Structure 1
Amino acid sequence: MWQSGHFREAVTAAARKVNVETQNKLDRKDVSERRLFQQAFSQDAPKAGQPRLRLMEDDGSDTYRSVHRGAAAFAEGFFAAIRNPNSHADGLPDLPQHEALEQLAALSVLARWVTAAAVVTVWGRRSAQASRSRVSRAASRAVRPTPIRVAEAGPVQSP
């Protein structure tokens, strides 16, 4: 898509990929996009079937609360302001390459957070490289972080 100049479609495809990889990491297919990330980064304790992503240890600090509130808001903002119009607004002109790169950069931040985050379940914490003492080998392979490749942009052209 990128090589053929379909930049809006490339950003949309990358957003879908980050959403799917987050669903896979959390084993959640029942929610997506805004609701998925709100629940994933929620500061509430995990519930059965609703694990959480943790970007840092809960030390009770304002920083912990701010980081997780901000990650949820960032994801919501990305999907509301970028992914949804790209997917649902008919007749939009294609994005200039530099704007698509900016949107991919924002998505890359979210993808990095998801990749680096530990999964916390009602049964305990699974780090980004799952604890071998609490998780079976098969489960360990399932939660091993795999960097989410957003897009292969190629050379950047000036606007």
Structure 2
Amino acid sequence: MTLPAGFNTQWAVDQLAEYLRQTVPQGGGGGFMQSPVGKRDDVLAQSAVIAPILAKVVPNWRQECAHADYYEFGQEREAAIRARTLLERQDEIADNLGDAEAFITTSNFHPWVWEASRGLWMGGHYRGALQTAGTALDSQLQALSGRSDVSGAPLVRELLSEKPPEPGKPRLNLPTTGNPDNDRNLRGGMRGLGEACFSLVRNLTTHNLAEFAEQDALEQMAVLSLFARRAEEYGVSVAD
């Protein structure tokens, strides 16, 4: 479970508890529909509040929680129970499952990729977020290099070319280490990482309509963020 920076756990628990209080089922039995103890309008309003909480804590709840044939709030209620338990007992769960996990904080992703994709990500639309982040990275690289005639992986290859800068064709200004082997490794590694951002992440998310699991999406977003951070850090060198 990866929670964004600033996530207010106690507030989320309180909202889930209120939803669960309102949605205690009553009536039903013998094939008749059940109804919540709270007023339906109040339940719907509280449902809107907990929707983004569920998206962050149990993002796959629609697939994992059983649909309740006789109670319209049954599936969401089960998800709320799971989410509240995970939030209330997250420290206990972590302490008893061995080594503490190293959490990736999404707010620390590089702004080149995160600012454009944040809304989609927070809504649980991971594939769309990755596609948007990859496209944003492409635009930032074009702006950095001042080039609109080339994009994606070909632009990465131009920026990481071993040739010196040419008029209208700047290169990433990679630092020198004093060791030729390390310099070659840095250039080759950056080139491979940059190509992966587009060939492996951006392009595949564009043509693959299946949704990603959160962990898979986190790892792919980290790839985009790392390349963006290094590219901005290094800047470009231009022809004299």
TM-score (norm 1): 0.71
Q: Letter of the aligned partner of 2:219 in structure 1?
A: E
CA distance in 1, matches of 2:176, 2:235: 9
Residue of structure 1 equivalent to 2:167: 48
Residue of structure 2 equivalent to 1:5: 124
The secondary structure found in structure 2 opposite 1:11 is helix
Q: Letter of the aligned partner of 1:48 in structure 2?
A: P
- Structure 1 residue 77: Cα displacement: 2.0
CA distance in 1, matches of 2:218, 2:133: 11
Q: Equivalences for 1:56-75 in 2 at 5 Å?
A: 56-57=175-176, 59=178, 61-75=180-194
User: Structure 1 residues 58, 121: closer, same or farther in 2, change over 3 A?
Assistant: farther
Q: Does the 8 A contact of 1:33 with 1:76 survive in 2?
A: yes
Decide which of 82, 101, 115 is 2:218's aligned counterpart. 101
Q: Equivalences for 1:106-145 in 2 at 5 Å?
A: 106-123=223-240
CA distance in 1, matches of 2:211, 2:226: 23
Report which structure shows greater RCO (CA 8 Å, sep ≥6): 1
> What is the RMSD of the two structures over their aligned residues, measured on CA atoms?
1.5
CA distance in 1, matches of 2:179, 2:169: 21
CA offsets per residue over residues 8-42 of structure 1, 9 Å max, x none? 00011111111111110110111111110001011
User: Structure 1 residues 58, 29: closer, same or farther in 2, change over 3 A?
Assistant: farther
User: Structure 1 residues 110, 77: closer, same or farther in 2, change over 3 A?
Assistant: same
The secondary structure found in structure 1 opposite 2:169 is coil
Unaligned runs of 5+ in 1: 124-159
Aligned residues: 121
Q: Letter of the aligned partner of 2:233 in structure 1?
A: A
CA distance in 1, matches of 2:122, 2:229: 24
Pick the structure with more helix per residue. Answer: 2
Q: Letter of the aligned partner of 2:161 in structure 1?
A: S
- Structure 1 residue 118: Cα displacement: 3.1
Q: Is 77-86 or 25-34 further displaced after alignment?
A: 77-86
Structure (1 or 2) with the larger CA radius of gyration: 2
The secondary structure found in structure 1 opposite 2:172 is strand
TM-score (norm 2): 0.48
Unaligned runs of 5+ in 2: 1-119
Decide which of 106, 111, 133 is 1:14's aligned counterpart. 133
User: Structure 1 residues 118, 59: closer, same or farther in 2, change over 3 A?
Assistant: farther
CA offsets per residue over residues 87-113 of structure 1, 9 Å max, x none? 123xx3211111111111111110011
CA distance in 2, matches of 1:102, 1:60: 31
The secondary structure found in structure 1 opposite 2:122 is coil
- Structure 1 residue 120: Cα displacement: 1.0
4+ residue stretches of structure 1 with deviation over 2 A?
57-60
Residue of structure 1 equivalent to 2:29: none
The secondary structure found in structure 2 opposite 1:80 is helix
CA distance in 1, matches of 2:221, 2:234: 20
